Amino acid sequence: MTQSNGMTSMERVLTTLGFKEPDRVPWFPLLTMTGARELGLSIREYFSSGKNVAEGQLRMWAKYGHDCLYAFFYAPVEIEAWGGEVIYAEDGPPNSGEPFLSNPEEIPGLEPPQIEESPCLLKVLDAIEKMKREAGDEVPIIGVVMSPFSLPVMQMGFDRYLDLLSERPDLFRRLMEVNEAFTVSWANAQLNAGAVAICYFDPVSSSTIVPRKLFLETGFPVARRTISRIKGPVAVHFASGRCLSLLDDLAETGALIAGVSAEESLRELKRASRGRLTLLGNLNGLEMRRWSSRQAEDEVKKAISAGGPGGGFILSDNHGEIPWQVSDEILFAMRDAVRTWGRYPLDWIG
């Protein structure tokens, strides 16, 4: 997948992370379920083995010509490791079922799952190892963890978790201790398997969900402690949540990349983050399902105009997962638009 001028995806991404302009804007369509379509499998069948996911990722990389392999299976794979339920859909991402932590008083006795004893997590590691063997160092493989601060939404439910935050600081601290240990272990296991970076999904920390003051008291110290123990580069992704007001804080966590929302100005985000954080985003994945090819090109061009100059920008969707309903036609239109409008120098920008 090396481009004609000789720059690999890895070189392209490392250049933009250094706030320099590579040959073109790196493109990360964060494809997950689309791999099932590529292999002619149901979503449940596709995620049943690491071999399927590795093959799907490698096929899509060859087909769409993008700049990453994505080791994300589905959000509740970690809940599955804790013994929780996963609910599958025919045309959407698997979701967590009934929260397994129904009584907060169970938190003091909670222990993190052991990765080597969790078949669902071992499938992910198997996929990473297979992708690494095939792709080598030509393309970054991105591992994924749920942040310790956001994971409790699936562990215990949103309402119970918000109550815990406001009413039981002792149990909150204990839950973070357990979750941080798990997140660090899980992130480093993926890095050891061949991932080169970790996407740290933390939607609850976004200013869409909690005010910055509460974030500084809770999600921020959790992120700073956790990221400092992850032995590789980290991208903090707010899964469509707003983060402009948090960028100064985010830079202090040790993260290198921020996944940003379509609900905020990419131009303002770029100004606020310049030289400190690379931006990942911010195409609207939900709207993408209804785009025409022409609109896909226009949206890519608009994002590159706002985020691309000077490097420090990776084009992606704003949520961290391309919806099942996004067609090949639109993915090809985005690919072609990146190749047309993302080539440096961006002389067409006025």
Structure tokens at 168: 């039981």
CA neighbor of 334 nearest in space, from 13, 14, 31, 12: 31
Work out the percent of the chain whose per-residue pLDDT is above 90.
97
Average pLDDT across the chain, whole number:
96
Report the pLDDT value the prediction gives residue 6, as an integer from 0 to 100. Answer: 67
Report the pLDDT value the prediction gives residue 234, as an integer from 0 to 100. Answer: 98
Query: Mean pLDDT across the stretch 127-135?
Result: 98
* Structure confidence at residue 2 as a pLDDT band (50, 70, 90): very low
Query: Mean pLDDT across the stretch 339-347?
Result: 98
Does the pLDDT value for residue 176 go beyond 70?
yes
* Structure confidence at residue 350 as a pLDDT band (50, 70, 90): confident
What is the tens place of the pLDDT at every residue in 280-301?
999 999 999 999 999 999 999 9
How far is it, in rounded angstroms, from Cα 190 to Cα 196? 9
Query: Mean pLDDT across the stretch 137-165?
Result: 97
Does the pLDDT value for residue 75 go beyond 50?
yes
Query: Mean pLDDT across the stretch 311-331?
Result: 97
Among 3.20.20.80, 3.10.180.10, 3.20.20.210, 3.60.21.10, what is the CATH number of 9-341? 3.20.20.210
How far is it, in rounded angstroms, from Cα 294 to Cα 209? 34
Does the pLDDT value for residue 104 go beyond 50?
yes
How far is it, in rounded angstroms, from Cα 205 to Cα 304? 27
How far is it, in rounded angstroms, from Cα 150 to Cα 129? 27
Query: Mean pLDDT across the stretch 311-337?
Result: 97
Query: Mean pLDDT across the stretch 300-315?
Result: 98
Query: Mean pLDDT across the stretch 69-97?
Result: 96
How far is it, in rounded angstroms, from Cα 284 to Cα 262? 6
CA end-to-end span of the chain, whole Å? Answer: 31
Report the pLDDT value the prediction gives residue 5, as an integer from 0 to 100. Answer: 53
Beta strands in the chain (DSSP E): 27-28, 69-70, 86-87, 95-96, 141-146, 197-201, 234-237, 257-259, 278-283, 313-317
- Put simply, whether the predicted model's pTM sits higher than 0.95 gets the answer yes
Report the pLDDT value the prediction gives residue 124, as an integer from 0 to 100. Answer: 98
What is the tens place of the pLDDT at every residue in 4-54?
456 999 999 999 999 999 999 999 999 999 999 999 999 999 999 999 999
> Which run of H or of E encompasses 221?
helix 219-227
The total of other beta-carbon atoms located within 10 Å of residue 217's CB is 13
Query: Which CA distances in Å does 27 have to 65, 143, 182?
Result: 9, 17, 30
Query: Mean pLDDT across the stretch 260-273?
Result: 97
How far is it, in rounded angstroms, from Cα 275 to Cα 270? 9
Does the pLDDT value for residue 3 go beyond 80?
no
Report the pLDDT value the prediction gives residue 1, as an integer from 0 to 100. Answer: 46
